[in-house]
Amino acid sequence: MKTSVLAVAVWGKTAPSHSITAVMITDDQQTIVTGSQEGQICLWDLSSDLKISSKEILFGHTASVTCLAKARE
C-alpha cells in the first residue's frame, strides 16, 4: 500500500533532514525523484523554466534509499 504526504515547507530557519543519496528524472522531464539517507522518496515538479517545487514525500523505507529505477510498461 502506497502512503504519501504532500510536501509542504512548514519549518522555520532549518529545513528537516533529507540527505539526497539518489536522483532520477522522469522521461517527460517534468518530475525529479530523490531518495534520501533518511529513507524518504520525494517527488518534485520541474517546470519548463527549470523551477523546482515539492510534490510528494513517500515514507515507509526503514533504510537509506541508495538507488532509484523506473519500471517498464
What is the pLDDT at residue 51? Answer: 85
Encoded amino acid at 18, one letter: H
Q: Is the pTM of this model over 0.75?
A: no
Task: Indicate the pLDDT class of residue 72, thresholds 50, 70 and 90.
Answer: confident
**11-59 pLDDT per residue, tens:** 556 655 678 899 999 999 999 999 999 898 988 998 888 888 888 888 8
**28 in helix, strand or coil?**
coil
Q: Which residues contact 58 (CB under 8 A, 6 or more apart)?
A: 2, 3, 4, 5, 40, 41, 42, 43
Q: State the residue for C-alpha cell 540527505.
A: 19
- Domain range summary for the chain, segments of one domain joined by +: 20-59
Contact between 57 and 42 (Cβ < 8 Å): yes
pLDDT value at residue 25: 93
Q: Which residue shows C-alpha cell 502506497?
A: 2
